[in-house]
Each structure stands twice: as structure tokens, then as C-alpha cells.
A and B are shown apart, each in its own frame.
Chain A
Amino acid sequence: MSTTIEKPEQELLISGSEAIAIACSMADVDVITAYPIRPYDTVMQYVSRLVADGEMDCEFIVAESEHSQFEIVKHASAVGARVFCGSSGVGWFYAFEALAVTAGLRLPVVAMVGNRALDDPGAFGTEHNDALAVRDLGWMLNWVATAQEALDTALMAWRIAEDPRVFLPCAISADGSFLTHSQVLTNVPDKSLVDKFLPRYDRGDKVLHPDNPITVAPQVNEDWLMEIRRQTDDGMRRAKGVVEEVHEEFRDIFGRGTPSPFFEEYMTDDAEVVFVGMGTLALPVRVAVRQMREQGIKVGFVRIKWFRPFATEEIKACLSRFKAIGVVDRDYSFGSPDFGGVLYNDIRAALYDSEKKPLVISFIAGLGGREVRGQNVVEMKDVMYEALATGKIDRDKQWIGVRR
């Protein structure tokens, strides 16, 4: 299908947060709840302005805590309302109970996480441990790298989450400051295209309404809980296909998007050594990769976009082409295998049964919003080539750009 854009898109200079606020208005979200915490709260500042100016019709509720914030949208979603919410760092953790049950109840809440360190000690900068904490609970989880991708992914998020084959919540992760606050030129699509792409949320026979007097979440105990968990697992398995389907349709209607919904490759064609990471890490790494390429070094970069569902087969096929993989985690997983990062351990697990096994090396970088510089990327490249030459990984060189 060819792209038919009746009205040219608008090009606006906006931040990642503003892009998601605009997506909320285009998606005609019904209930939005806010609670202040940096850096995600910028999205709610834009939403409240849209509501105040009458550009958006929704119930905008300033909750008294993140726990209530996420409980309110959970219950609004149960009666059939399209909802949006979000948080950062410890705020996301304050809501944790609500986050867990939202997935358990199969409610398609869409949230934005403006990634932030889990202070104490006090830190506003980006770290991925906040969003990653829900990775086992039934939340779909993706990382975006640009305001454009934030807007597009938000529109896709409702479509995927509200698909009855899925009915799972979805968190869009955006690196604090690097994405939430920095502005770039972004194409804002015409509303008619969004309407074509995004149908209304229809909860069907699972909606809570006097005409459909069901009992939601009764006590099930060991009699039924395992079957219900299995159903959530089925939903997450189906979600992978739905992500692909929706991504394809999005590309058809809006005429943009990466070839794979799950990851984006950069200069990987003949690469030997490849970096893997998520989010705005792409910016410094891509620049460094380009510079190294100019010197004839065969490096590349793969940016993972969807962390849950994890596209095991596709990621395996992609990464087993290379000799060494350096997984750059903007997170930590203290005491985990090899004391590596969260992404590292998933990537390595995915590659376990592949015929060609590259060396997989864990790097921890950019915590608390620390800048990842070109020279850090070169340093990691050296560690990887050294490991290739010696067949041994120097685990002392895992933490990058850190004072001893």
C-alpha cells in the first residue's frame, strides 16, 4: 500500500515529552493522571496545557501519589476508557503495587517512563532500572531514541496494548533529559491518519458495566492462578506478532519507521564488533562508530527497541552474525551472572543456543545520566578487540567512564 497523506504533516520543534503529549491528544485519550517527578512530568505539563487550551478532551486528574495515579487509570481502563499515565525513578516504584496488578488484570494502560536514577543518593539523570523493574510482570516495555519515535511509538502503544489478543499494559521509556527535554524537528501527523490507524478501545465482554455484571479479579488461589498466569504469558507471546503487524501498518499509513519493529541496525553490514544498547545511547555511539569506520575499523551498533516482548529469534539471527558483541547497559543488576547488566544477561541468554556464538561482553555506562563520550566507545571497542585476540574477557574493564 502506498502512503497517502492528504494533508502535509506539520513539522514542529518539540521534545520527547511534548511528542507524547501530542500523541495523547491525537489518540483521544479519556483519562490521564499526573503526579510530579522529574523528568517525566514534562509530559504532563504539556498535557495540562492542551487540556487548559481546550485542545484535548479528557479527565485530567492530579493524583495525590503515584500509587493513586496508577490505580485511577487502572480502574478507568476497566470501565473502557483509554488512559495514559507515567512516572520516573522512585515515583514509578511508589506505584509498584498498582503496576503489578495492572498487568495481572490485563488492562491496556499506556505509560511513559522518563528514565531516572533511583535516588538515594539524589540524582535526576537517566538510568534504566526504573522501567526495567517491571520486565517480569507482563508489561510491554520499549525504549525510544528520538521525539519522532516517541510520538510514533505512543500511537502504536495504544493500538497494541488494546488489541484483544494482547490486553497488556505498555511502558514507553524515554531517557531523562536526553529525550524528555531536548527538542528536535518532528513530524506531527494529520489527525485523520491517526483515526484511520487507531480504532477505539473496546474491552468487549470484559468491560465493567451494569449491563455486563462481571466480577473482576475474584480470589482464585492455587485453583486458578496458574492458568491465569499462563494466559498472560500467551498474551505476551501474541504481543510479539501484534507488534510486527501494527508496525507494518504504521509504516504503510505514515510512511516512516525502521525495517524491524524490534531493533535498529547501524553500519552493521560487514561489522565484526557491534555495540548493543537502548535509548538515546544511540547518539554518542553512532557518532563514534562513524568515526571508527572512517579509520577502517569494522564496528556497528544495534539499538534494541522492544525489550518486552523480547524478539528472541530476530535478535539471535541479527547478533550471531558478528564476532563480538558489547552490550552497553545504562542499568545495573548487582550480583547477577557475570555481574553484568540486565540487557546483557538477556542478550546472552538469547544467544545461548545459536550455532554461531559471538563473544558477549557486558559494559555498564552512563549511570545517573553521566554522558557516554566518544572516547568511552573507543575504549569499549579496544576491550572487545582485545578479548577477540586473547579469547579472554577482562571483567575489570566492565564499568566505563567511572572513577576508581
Chain B
Amino acid sequence: MTQMVDLPQVRGVKNIPIEEMFTSGHRTCQGCESALTMRLMVKAAGDRTIVTGSTGCMYVANTTYYTSPWVVPWMHTQLGSSGAAATGTAAGLKALMRKGKVKDEPINVISFCGDGGGIDMGLSGISASLTHPEYNHLVLLYDNESYANTDIQVSGSSPWGANSTFSPPGKVHRIMNTRWKKNMVGMLAAGHPDCRYLATSCGSYGLDMTNKLRRALTIGGPTFIHSIDPCPKGWDYDPKFSHELGMLAVETGLWVLYEIVDGELFLNGPSKAIAKGMKQRRPVEEYLSRQGRFAHFTEEDTKFVQSKVDDMWERWWGPGVIPINVKED
């Protein structure tokens, strides 16, 4: 499987393929942006694709016997094994094609996971999968910022201070989640020099996401995309605001859109405009105050988050990319 599926970059929303590979049958909440991520993922990839998905909402709520929404072949994988699933699927195909046991043709291999499955439990497997330049696959992490399927518990990717069923604001401890969200793409980029493509994305920027998916699937070797997905249930807001909240995450600078191609960093969309000084970062308060999970925040809490986001933009190497301040002497 040396060649890749032909997936040209899409110029303009109107040129996004019309075919749906993720259709009716799923049971996700109204306004679930992770479901949108799934839809965009397979739309961009097309029908010559195999998808594996780890346990979480996108399995339990998404993939029920007799009502599977998947038009493409799909297989469940364990909560912490999205990396291994990608490697195993790609390695199996590679061996079979090399030996002539199945037809030698390009097939996309995508393995997705949630933030709990990918950022916490499955980190070592994803890391290992990115060290195999000989296997072509994409690991897509859909990040709804909690263990959503098990009732919204805090994960290593939940934002500081967020209310969850394992981090409820209480009478003595207002802030139960004192951890800052893990920086997944930066960590993977820094640690896997052979990985040719890593990116962040957000379903509110569908075209950007489609093209990132296609770059990831055509560049060769293992690749990684981290998508931020507003989750009405876990974030506690009216489902009609999902799209808007995704945009706010980016416009406040909490979520930075970028891609790292062969070791070169490119900012995208509003994040690029902000970095170039063509656009102002909006205050994080506009984002936080729209979600019930931050309803217990005091002014000080909001200020704290703002200062951390300012740090990301002013002190990190690349805005929100790597939390290292490169000092010149």
C-alpha cells in the first residue's frame, strides 16, 4: 500500500463532497459537535476507508447494532487502543498487499478516540503509532473535554475549574479540577519527529477541517488531528449554540488552529489573523460565561484563565503550541 487515496484539497465549501459516509442511525445528543466531526471525517476520506473507533460517545451513542450510521467499514476498539488499532489495521493491510493476499490498492485507515481514551488512557499507544513511518494512518482525537459517555467526568483534557461529575464545585472546594488541559498536539509534535502531519481543528471551520483531514490522509505515514468539539450535555448550554461556541473557543484564543507539516508550523483561520495582529483575541469571559460548567466561576477564576491564555499567546513557543519560552541571550 504505497500510494495514497487521491484526495485533492477542497477549494470552497461548495466543493465539499455531497456523499455522506456517516448517516442516520446514531443516537448522539442534539447539537453534538463530535457527531459533526465524525461526519466531516468520513466525508473527507470517502468510501475507500476503514475506520476504527474507541469506546466513548462516538461508539456507545453512535454505533448501535442494526442502526449503524457508518457507510464505510467500521470496527470498535478498546478505550485506550486507538493507536494500536491504527497500527494493526495498517500493518495487516500492508502485509496482505505485499504478499498478494489482497488487492494492492490505496485504503485510508482512520482510528478515532475521545479525549479520555486518547489523551489519558491511550497516550502511550498513540505515541507508539506515530513512531512507525512505514504505516499510513490517521489518529483523530475528538475532544469534548470530558469522559462524556460515562456521565461527564473530568479528564486530562478538561479545562481548569470545569464542573463535572467528578469535579463538582462544593461548599469547601469551589475548584475541584485544578489541572490545566494537556497540550496534546504540542506534546506529540515535539516527541515524534518522524510524524509528518499534526493539526488542531474545530468543526465550526468545516472547510479547514476537511482539508486538514485530506492532508493527513495523503501525506504518508502516521498522522494526528485533534479536534475541539463543543458538547451541549457536558458543557451545559443550549444545543443551538454549538457552532458558535466552537468559534468562540478559537476567537478567544483558548483553542488555536494550526498544523505542523514536516516540522513547519502554520497557523490557520482566525488564529492566524490574531497572530498577525489583524484580529483581536476576544476575552475568555465571553466563552466561559456561556457554559454552565463554569457557572460557579468568580471574577478571579475568569481572570486566572485569561492570564493563562495570555501566557499561551505571549510566552509559549508558537501561540498555544509548546509551553516553552525560547530565551535569547
Contact = CB atoms under 8 A, between A and B. Distances in A.
Contacts of A220: 64-65
A61 B78 CA distance: 19
Interface residues of B, number: 44
Given A63-B84, A64-B125, A218 B91 contact: no
A191 interface: no
Nearest to B72: A213
B88 interface: yes
Contact of A81 (B80, B87, B92, B127): B92
A75 B102 contact: no
A67 B60 CA distance: 22
B321 interface: no
A362 B252 CA distance: 70
Contact of A78 (B63, B75, B80): B75
A129 B244 CA distance: 55
A52 interface: no
Interface centre among B81, B85, B88 (most CB of A within 10 A): B88
Contacts of A79: 50, 89, 92-93, 96
A403 B89 CA distance: 51
Interface of B is mostly: mixed
Contacts of B73: 208-210, 212-216
Contacts, number: 144
Nearest to A64: B128
- Interface magnitude class on chain A: 35 or more
A77 interface: yes
A219 to B, nearest CB: 5
B92 A31 contact: yes
A76 to B, nearest CB: 3
Contact of B85 (A57, A75, A215): A75
A220 B59 CA distance: 11
A71 interface: yes
Interface of A: 28, 30-31, 57-59, 61, 63-65, 67-69, 71-81, 83, 97-98, 101, 200, 208-210, 212-220, 223-224
Complex A-B, nearest 5 residue pairs according to Cβ-Cβ distance, in ascending order:
A75-B88, A76-B92, A71-B84, A81-B92, A72-B88
Interface of B: 47-50, 52, 59-60, 63-65, 68, 70-78, 80-81, 83-85, 87-89, 91-96, 98-99, 101-102, 107, 124-125, 127-128, 132
